[in-house]
Amino acid sequence: LLTLDEFGGAPRRRAATGRGWDAWEPEPVESEAASSRGRRRPVEDELGHLINIYGSKELFINEYRNMLAERLLSKVGYDITREMHTLELLKIRFGEASLHKCEVMLKDVLDSKRINGNVKAPPAPGTPAARDTASTDILQNSPLDATIVSALFWPPFANEAPDFKLPAEMKSMIDAYSKRYHHLKAPRQLMWRPTLGTVEVEVMRGELELQLSVSTMEAAVLSHFQRKDRWGQDELATEMGINRATLRRKAVVWINQGLLVEEKNEGDGSSYRLTTGDDGRAAFGAAAADDEGGGGGAVASAEDQAAAGMKVYEQYVIGMLTNFPSLPPDRIHNMLKMFVQDPPYDRSLDQLEAFLGQLVAEDKLALEGNQYSKR
């Protein structure tokens, strides 16, 4: 602390004692970091590192689109504030054109919120919807909220169980929603994906109370036990329109929660029954998920998407091998690049060989050495 000398007016240093030490504060830690900005890596560099990991900007954006679809389809409600903020930041880095499909996906969710409100609102008197009193009664008490998507802008959806059948209670809510949507948006109609989505379940059985979010198929498994306490595995799989492996993956959720018990029957089959009291506590967490079966995601895997993208070239390959007895993969690759223009062929040789291997597995082509021929 500096004071003026009472005689000469020159400054002299006075010991900082008393309240001076009490008022002292350490220098902020941020000051050192701010003085050396070069040590901090900008966000652009972090995105650049991610792009290098994926290999290209297109692959990174495609993976982000898949993750965004998974998040939106598993979300309960229509709050997408965080997703919109993230997209705006990515648009600054990559431009609007590259992320146009993602923007449409978020717009679909916002439009779905508005449409959902219109569908559940009481219909205007004198309209065809007003005369459908049965659908109106169902919709007024229905917890169903639908996300209506523009399929051309979303990634391909997973199709874990193409023949899956919803329980009657769920089916009636979907049918009523479809009718009211058709009245509002005629001639448009909804095509449902019943294996996608999330169900919030509240379970009360004896002393057991549960609240969890599960998939529609997992909710459907438990719903069937409202009708009877025991189902054979084959019987329930047939009732739901799914195979035994898929049924077990979905039943494991309730086995681990102590609601179901899997019992072996005589022979190869097994059955599921509702637990009661002590065996419910013993069954809690007794089963492990079947990892071999896979499945469960809303969006198709990268391998499935790549295979679907190659399907458009199947007829070209079959046509080539009709005119030529056999061809090596590099020759097929060059001919596709030369003759396929709409859509242009832009696949790698490795992708083509994987696709040709799939055609061999489907018994459409034969492979001898390095030569492919038509069956």
Query: Could you give the 3-state DSSP secondary structure of residue 135?
Result: helix
Is 90 exceeded by the pLDDT of residue 59? no
The owner of tokens 């060989």 is 353
Place 288 in a pLDDT band, splitting at 50, 70 and 90. very low
- What digits encode the pLDDT tens for the residues 300-321? 555 566 666 677 788 888 888 8
d(CA 363, CA 361): 5
Please determine, for residue 102, whether its predicted confidence score (pLDDT) is greater than 90: yes
Average pLDDT over residues 279-295: 48
Q: Using CA atoms, how far apart are residues 276 and 227, in angstroms rounded to an integer? A: 16
Which has more confidence, 286 or 70?
70
The predicted pLDDT at position 278 comes to: 58
Q: What is the pLDDT of residue 292?
A: 39
**pLDDT score of 36 more than 70:** no
**Residue in the block written with tokens 């966000």:** 43
pLDDT value at residue 10: 47
State residue 4's pLDDT score.
Answer: 41
For residue 205, pLDDT beyond 70? yes
Tell me the pTM.
0.66
Mean pLDDT estimate for the chain: 81
Q: Is residue 176 pLDDT above 90, yes or no? A: yes
Rounded mean pLDDT, 153-175: 90
What was the pLDDT predicted at 268?
67
> Is the confidence at residue 258, as pLDDT, over 60?
yes
- pLDDT class of 101 with cuts at 50, 70, 90: very high
Q: What is the mean pLDDT of residues 70-99?
A: 91
Q: How far apart are CA 349 and CA 335, in angstroms?
A: 12
What are the backbone angles phi and psi of residue 324, rounded to the nearest 5°? -120, 140
In angstroms, the CA 163 to CA 296 distance is: 15
Given this model, what pLDDT does residue 272 score? Answer: 93
**What's the pLDDT score for residue 217?**
93
Q: Is 217 exposed, middle or buried (0-12, 13-18, 19+ CB in 10 A)?
A: buried
User: Which residue in 223, 164, 153, 235 sits closest to 193, CA to CA?
Assistant: 164
Structure tokens at 199: 């169900």
The whole-number average pLDDT for the span 250-262 is 91
Higher-pLDDT residue of 76 and 293 is 76
Alpha-helix runs per DSSP H in 74-203: 81-94, 100-120, 128-131, 133-140, 168-185
Closest to 138 (Cα-Cα) out of 166, 178, 165: 178
Ranked by mean pLDDT, the top range of 1-15, 146-160, 343-357 is 146-160
**pLDDT of the residue at 200:** 92
Cα distance between residue 288 and residue 297, in whole Å: 18
pLDDT at residue number 2: 39
pLDDT at residue 124 tops 50 = yes
pLDDT of residue 299: 62
CB 76 within 8 A of CB 200: yes
pLDDT of residue 15: 46
User: What pLDDT is stored for residue 49 in this prediction?
Assistant: 78
Task: Decide: 100 and 61 in contact? Cβ < 8 Å.
Answer: no
Which of 38-47, 203-212, 226-235, 257-266 is predicted most confidently? 226-235
pLDDT score of 51 more than 70? yes
pLDDT tens figures, 319-344: 888 888 889 989 998 888 888 876 67
Q: How far is the first Cα of the chain from the last one, in angstroms, to the nearest whole number?
A: 96
User: Nearest 5°: phi and psi at 373?
Assistant: -140, 160
- pLDDT given at position 130: 87
